[in-house]
Amino acid sequence: MAILPITLFGDKILRKKVGTIKEVDNETVKLIKDMFDTMKNANGVGLAANQVGINKSIFVADISMVEGYEKTKPMVVINPKITFRFKEKSSVEEGCLSIPEVRLNIERPKNITLVYFDTNMKKHELEADELLARVIQHEYDHLQGVLIIDYVSDELKENIKESLEKIKKGEVETEYPTCLPADRLQGKRDYQLK
């Protein structure tokens, strides 16, 4: 198990729709374990594979450290598809490990229905609400190449433009290892702790 560097905003992989997983091999199992370690190290509640530079349709989520959700089990979600979004919405502040120090109020459906596969490639259908629904939608968006900044007005984007430019250049401090686009393109998966 290893802690992987988290890809920062500006990397093209965060804007691409990821590839479907056909089978769960040893490499995928290792990736899942590493993703959980990486997410927990960064105090996150969800992490998509493309956030660690991997073009696979998989995300992990664990909200059990949030008050009121202690009994919620960690999830491994492979090849997900949101099949239904309920009409009722709520607006809640969200952050993103790939866009550190930026927090935005994002309006999302309060309830969703998700179809996905587990590590045995067994199909599941889940109806999720509140925080779990929000985390699933956030991570699902990552797999579609969508980021939280895509939900806000042009005016608000203008307000955070300077912060986004700093993130692109790696001029942001994080408590977890990160990877700049140039590092990943040069095959440098080593990283610096800032």
Residues 168 and 8 sit within 8 Å (Cβ to Cβ): yes
Instruction: Tell me the whole-structure pTM to 2 decimals.
Output: 0.92
Q: Where are the domains of the chain?
A: 6-178
The predicted pLDDT at position 180 comes to 76
Q: Hey, what long-range contacts does 89-97 have (CB within 8 A, 24 or more apart)?
A: 92/134, 94/134, 94/138, 94/148, 95/148, 96/138, 96/147, 96/148, 97/6, 97/39, 97/42, 97/44, 97/47, 97/51, 97/176
> Nearest Cα to 79, choosing from 52, 48, 105?
48
3-state secondary structure of 168: helix
pLDDT in tens, 90-102: 999 999 999 999 9
6-178 CATH, one of 3.90.45.10, 3.60.20.10, 3.40.50.720, 3.30.43.10 = 3.90.45.10
Indicate if 139 belongs to the active site. yes
Which stretches in the chain have pLDDT values below 70? 181-194
Q: Select which of 139, 155, 165, 175 is catalytic.
A: 139
Structure tokens at 116: 């996905």
